[in-house]
């Protein structure tokens, strides 16, 4: 009887420790574009977002996707791959990243884990253009970083 009690106690403690692990941006994969998305399984916009990001993670090795399911368990219909992480997160923990009441909430981080863009809605075209710009070493608006620019007006003046 004591062994059963110990086993149950251990299971409860381990489950609490496993679910209590917070999500940290610092734990993401550097040198890759990271997309961190706060979603639910019941939201129709989130379902479209999930489908797009699942496809993106399967086809694109430069992009790592993290789907954070807010206040719910991870759906069994979504399976992990090498470019996809699935995490369940509480609403209180999600609020620390700027999630208020609406999902999907998307954070796009560059290869140095700096937040480049925050989206409170899903727009496939905007996200696609942003990812392509970041993959090509450009800023979000498609311009080169200052150290790579050639200012022709300065070059021709001297």
CA neighbours closer than 13 Å in the CB half-sphere of residue 122: 20
Band of residue 29 on the pLDDT scale cut at 50, 70, 90? confident
Rounded to whole angstroms, the Cα distance separating 40 from 29 reads: 23
Inform me whether the pLDDT recorded for 10 exceeds 50.
no
Domain of 135: which CATH number?
3.40.30.10
Range of the domain at 117: 31-139
Residue located via tokens 């086809």: 59
* Mean of the per-residue pLDDT values of the chain: 81
pTM over 0.85: no
pLDDT at 144 over 70: no
Report the pLDDT averaged over residues 144-155. 60
Angle at 26 between CA 25 and CA 30, to 5 degrees: 100
Whether residue 22 is contained in a domain is answered as no
Quick check: is 20 in a domain? no
Q: With pLDDT > 70 as the criterion, what percentage of the chain qualifies?
A: 75
124 falls within a domain: yes
Q: Pairing mode, if any, of strands 115-119 and 105-109?
A: antiparallel
Q: Report the percentage of the chain scoring pLDDT > 90.
A: 39
């Amino acid at each position: 009887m004591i062994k059963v009690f110990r086993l149950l106690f251990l299971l409860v403690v381990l489950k609490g420790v496993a679910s209590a692990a917070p999500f940290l941006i610092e734990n993401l994969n550097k040198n890759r574009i990271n997309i961190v998305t706060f979603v639910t399984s019941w939201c129709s916009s989130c379902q479209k977002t999930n489908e797009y990001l699942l496809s993106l993670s399967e086809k694109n090795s430069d992009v790592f996707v993290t789907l954070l399911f807010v206040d719910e368990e991870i759906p069994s219909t979504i399976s992990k791959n090498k470019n996809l992480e699935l995490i369940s997160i509480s609403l209180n923990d999600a609020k620390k990243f700027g999630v208020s009441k609406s999902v999907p909430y998307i954070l796009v981080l560059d290869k140095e884990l700096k937040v480049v863009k925050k989206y409170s809605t899903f727009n496939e075209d905007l996200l696609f253009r942003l990812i392509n710009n970041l993959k090509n070493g450009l800023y979000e608006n498609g311009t080169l970083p200052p150290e790579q620019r050639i200012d022709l007006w300065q070059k021709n003046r001297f």
